Amino acid sequence: MKNIAVVCGGFSGEEVISMRSADFVLQNMDTSIYKPFKVIISIDRWYCEIDGKQFDIDKNDFSFKDSKAKVNFDGVYIIIHGRPGENGQLQAYFQMLNIPYTSSDFTVSAIASNKAYCNYMMKSLNVNTMPSVHLIAGGDIEIDSILEQVGLPCFVKPNSGGSSIGMSKVKAKEELAYAIEKAFAEDEEVLIESFFEGREVTCGLLQKDNEMIVFPICEVHSKTEFFDFEAKYTSSLVEEIIPAQIPEEIANVIKSTSVFIYKKLNFKGVIRIDYIFNDDNDYIFIEANTIPGMTQESIVPQMAREFGWSNTGLVSAVLDEIF
């Protein structure tokens, strides 16, 4: 029986989603093989929660002492969306402690979570991306120059944020300064991208027993202006169609591109890659999510169930690969 820490919480606005994802993982872990523990990480405190009791984590070796003895972990299921679970910080910590963990290593996680750097990487691999401007706090912001490069409408987003928190769709020049300010409230870097008219799809995949498993593609129909935080977590505001009713040609391109990206960047665990494609079957890469949502309603578990897997099968597929 292996002790598994299901690490959740975090330092971002995605904390509440992380806690829900952790509950899903805890409820669906194969307890004939693994003994799960819920470990909550916040800026102020790291602790393990057992039956309403809290035990502080010793950060020197990532262990805790309950009323009986010291408990060490054989592995870690990272389910923190945003900092410090998705940007490589926790991965580097566990790597130094030689504790196996789900998700990609710290370098890959850091690149994927930084949208601008990830775009640079995609361009070097000849994966389609939209024109963009990368802003850093304290730097010059020249509205006219930005619009010359990205045009209108455009999207303004925190460079390392997730769940579309702090994101805006800008349709007029006078809206841009406020949108940039809103994004900077969430991150020290901001990415501004050109708008691409089309249909949004997402591809979930992972490697299991040296074989790439690509789940059925999902098409996302948002009833809001774009697929924002409210739409992502309010079922009445979004329709997620699995499998996506899209041309076979574009489905094959999306799947093969996703496998190509997964292998080239050396991703680990289950990831989800988002795209937009248009009527001409042109597509653009939006982003790679290295720790996608894992609630009952989240897209990846829906994909896995459509693929024929149980929730426990999905959690096991992710966890088994680290041993």
Closest CA to 186 of 169, 170, 164: 164
Tell me what pLDDT residue 19 has: 96
**Whole-model pTM over 0.85:** yes
309-322 tens-digit pLDDT: 999 999 999 999 99
Amino acid at 48: C
- C-beta separation of 240 from 218 below 8 A: yes
62 vs 56: CA distance, rounded Å: 10
User: Taking residues 76-93, what's their average pLDDT?
Assistant: 95
Q: Which helix (H) or strand (E) holds 155?
A: strand 154-158
31-79 tens-digit pLDDT: 999 999 999 999 999 999 999 999 999 999 999 999 889 999 999 999 9
Tokens 């929730």 belong to which residue?
Answer: 311
As a whole number, the mean pLDDT across the chain is: 93
179 vs 143: CA distance, rounded Å: 11
156 vs 164: CA distance, rounded Å: 10
Burial environment of residue 70 by CB neighbours within 10 A (0 to 12, 13 to 18, 19 or more): exposed
**DSSP sequence for 78-117:** E---STTTSSSHHHHHHHHHT--BSS--HHHHHHHHSHHH
Peptide bond into 36 cis (omega under 30): no
210 vs 101: CA distance, rounded Å: 17
Residue 229: pLDDT band with limits 50, 70, 90: low
Tell me what pLDDT residue 225 has: 63
Tokens 């894992």 belong to which residue?
Answer: 294
Q: Which residues of 73-107 are buried (b: 16+ CB within 10 A; e: fewer)?
A: bebbbbbbbbbbbbbbbbbbbbeeeebbbbbbbbe
For residue 63, the cross-strand partners are: 58
Residue 208: pLDDT band with limits 50, 70, 90: very high
| pLDDT more than 90, % of the chain | 87
CATH number given to 132-194: 3.30.1490.20
Tell me what pLDDT residue 223 has: 74
Tell me what pLDDT residue 240 has: 94
pLDDT at 193 over 60: yes
Report the alpha-carbon angle 118-188-60, nearest 5.
85
Q: Residue ranges of the domains in the chain?
A: 2-104, 110-128+196-320, 132-194
- C-beta separation of 220 from 277 below 8 A: no
Token pair listed for 50: 């057992």
pLDDT at 227 over 80: no
Classified by CATH at the fold level, domain 110-128+196-320 comes out as: D-amino Acid Aminotransferase; Chain A, domain 1 (3.30.470)
Question: CATH number for the 2-104 domain, one of 3.20.20.140, 1.10.12.10, 2.40.50.140, 3.40.50.20?
Answer: 3.40.50.20
